[in-house]
Structure 1
Amino acid sequence: MTKRHITYLACTTVLLGGLAGTTPASAAHRLHVVRPGESIQKAVDAARSGDTVLVMGGTYHESVTVRTPGLTLRGMGRNTMIRPAQKGATASTRCLEGGDGICVVGAKDKPLTDVTVADLSVGGFARTGLWSTGTDRLTVRRVTADGNGQWGIAEEHSTRGVFRENTARRNGDAGLFLANSVTAEQGAADTGGTVLARNHLADNRIGITVRRLRDLTVTRNEVTGNCAGVFVVGDENEPRAGALTISGNRVERNNKYCAKTARLPALQGSGIVLTGTERTLVTRNTVTGHSGTSPLSGGIVLFKSFVGARSEQNRITGNHVEDNSPADLVDQEAAKSGNAFDGNACRVSRPAGLC
């Protein structure tokens, strides 16, 4: 590997936990700088745990796979753009089964720990902008995922992730998608406290999808211009999906129309939807300006899942919900479901009396 491909700066003997003169050389962390025309993947492959791969501004036509624990992959903001490889290029074209931009890959029995991806843009990929599986304490921060065929940023089989200050727009399915598994039918997984905070989701099919998970917080996100804003999905498997907090989000005018799929009817005008979930707290959200005729349309909607699993013992409290049609609050569950609505600022509900 040449100096042109990876530059080790003189300051790359960054010593953590003490001064240079007192810390063993084995503790030194290196900085690998990648410039336009060079390979990000080669720098990632050369890096060790604790190292940082810094990608300078420019457009890089490749896919990148991270399998090294403790690695930081960082760009220079939106000026660092990762795009699909061009035809005939020698750069990496695969990321797992192909079609993804960045893949962070561990295993269910041995998670990949403490990886950070930050300050870059990834878009135009057939499947997912940034895909992660089998990780623990993954941090994704200030990443822009734009115009990917399926998901903007997605994760499965993972715990204790932090997704903060990202932008996901114009993706074919969800801007942010988190699940226990994307292929297997199984009970909800405990994330150990994963956080989705201060992200901006716009012009996707669904802004945020949380599927078959527990112990997760969705807070202070801006979700607008999607077909549906926030979708929390469970089913009949055990343990049930739920024990989540959705708080302080601004969910506005998600009135884009999306045709039905094999899983869902046509979507339009859905703010926050809970389907087949239990013990979820929805509080202090602003949910306004939704309108549609889908079975899932409305401001905050509790909907029995399409496999018949009920939404039970959820609490909807202290939200500002107005100018939503057919109603601000919609509870399609039976009276004995134990769902509680209190302290919400709203005008119209189905059934009446929830406001």
Structure 2
Amino acid sequence: MKKRYIAFLVSAVAFVGSCAAAASTDTAQRTHTVHPGESIQKAVDTAKAGDTVLVLPGTYHESVKVTTPGLTLRGTGNTTILQPAAKSADDCGKRGNGICVSGTKTKRLTGVTVSDLKVTGFSYAGVMALATDGLTVQRVTAEKNTVWGLAEERSQHSLYRQNTVRNSGDAGIFLANTLTVEQGSVDTNHTQIAQNTLTGNRIGITIRRLRNLTVTSNDITGNCMGVSIVGDENKPKAGAVTVRGNQVMKNNKYCAKTKRLPFLQGSGILLSATDTNDVTGNVVTGNSGTSPLSGGIVLFKSFVGATSDNNRIRNNSLRDNSPADLVNQEAAQRGNAFEHNTCRASQPEGLC
């Protein structure tokens, strides 16, 4: 009787163990591998929350839309290439985007990662994020996309890290509150733009009508303008951005005027209609031009009459910027402070 009891107990434990293993297998995160000639979108649609879609080296002529939370879309580096399809059936591709990461008007899409691939030649943006929370875009090369390399709106807690963005028609990295409605700035809850390389774009980084984010340790060179932090007359004002430890050098490409802006050339870091930004510890050199926005670090009174207030420009190293290393077009009483910068020339004099 004792032997039968022990045998029963062993069988029961084995049964419970096999059930637990089956449950673990069913709920485990999976990797879906995409080979050249296969559909990335099909793998993304099959994947569940927390899964990884791994795209092997090759050129894929398609756009990809991600709507699954926690999904990782990962390539194998610059050998995994997305280019436009001859004809797109999905709304992401029809709008000219390479990769779309999309939440809804009522619910943000959380925890998506896009990494280690190249998006090139799209007529709008290489990667476009809408209504996301905790998005990570890293080690992505975005090249020759007609409007933006990497872009987002209505998102928070994003991380853009170690990406290379070249030759975008507008901004290499473009972050905004919303593109279609004029409204006050929104809080990104500590979005980070860090360790990216931006070159040959109209503007390296544009931050429009946003608050509470950091731009740090980026290499920004050869654009028409390096960094643009811009607001307007709406409230709350854009700002509370930390711009720290960036190399902003020789952004002297010429870009013709648009409906919104005059021609651009030789602009390092621009603040317009913003407040309480901290621009510190940057190396800003060789940005030279004759645009109204030219100069090393420029506080520009916006075209709609909104002011830049209570910004701190401190501990930066500036040289060989023209018309000056530091340019302040605001009235002295606006509370903007220029402190401990190393530079040779300023407008007005006395800011160095």
TM-score, normalised via structure 2 length: 0.93
Structure 1 residues 47-86: aligned runs within 5 Å = 47-86=47-86
Letter in 2 for 1:38: E
Q: Is the 8 A contact 1:41 1:92 kept in 2?
A: no
Corresponding position of 2:95: 98
Corresponding position of 2:290: 293
Structure 1 residues 126-145: aligned runs within 5 Å = 126-145=123-142
The 2-side partners of 1:96 and 1:335 are apart by 49
Instruction: Name the CA shift for 1:169/1:132 in 2 (closer, same or farther; >3 Å).
Output: same
Q: Is the 8 A contact 1:63 1:94 kept in 2?
A: no
Root-mean-square deviation over aligned CA pairs? 1.3
Instruction: Name the CA shift for 1:304/1:63 in 2 (closer, same or farther; >3 Å).
Output: same
Displacement of 1:234: 0.7
Displacement of 1:26: 4.4
Letter in 2 for 1:42: K
Corresponding position of 1:236: 233
Structure 1 residues 194-343: aligned runs within 5 Å = 194-343=191-340
The 1-side partners of 2:258 and 2:129 are apart by 24
Q: Is the 8 A contact 2:84 2:93 kept in 1?
A: no
Corresponding position of 1:39: 39
In structure 1, the gaps of 5 or more residues are 1-19
Instruction: Name the CA shift for 1:107/1:286 in 2 (closer, same or farther; >3 Å).
Output: same
More helix by share: 2
Letter in 2 for 1:301: V
After TM superposition, the runs of 4+ consecutive aligned structure 1 residues lying more than 2 A away are: 20-27, 91-94
Corresponding position of 1:164: 161
1:241-297 deviation line (CA, Å, top 9, x unaligned): 001100000000000000000110000000000000000000000000011000000
Displacement of 1:25: 3.9
The 1-side partners of 2:195 and 2:147 are apart by 22
The 2-side partners of 1:122 and 1:161 are apart by 19
Displacement of 1:27: 3.0
Structure 1 residues 141-160: aligned runs within 5 Å = 141-160=138-157
Displacement of 1:86: 2.6
SS of aligned partner of 2:44: helix
SS of aligned partner of 1:43: helix
Percent identical among aligned pairs is 62
Tell which deviates more after alignment, 137-146 or 24-33: 24-33
The 1-side partners of 2:21 and 2:198 are apart by 47
Q: Is the 8 A contact 1:85 1:93 kept in 2?
A: no
Letter in 1 for 2:28: A
Q: Check if 1:351 corresponds to 2:348.
A: yes
TM-score, normalised via structure 1 length: 0.92
The 2-side partners of 1:78 and 1:162 are apart by 20
Q: Is the 8 A contact 2:212 2:239 kept in 1?
A: yes
Letter in 2 for 1:288: T
1:121-156 deviation line (CA, Å, top 9, x unaligned): 001001100000000000000000000000000000
Displacement of 1:108: 3.6
Tell which deviates more after alignment, 95-104 or 178-187: 95-104
The 2-side partners of 1:108 and 1:119 are apart by 29
Displacement of 1:182: 1.1
Letter in 1 for 2:64: V
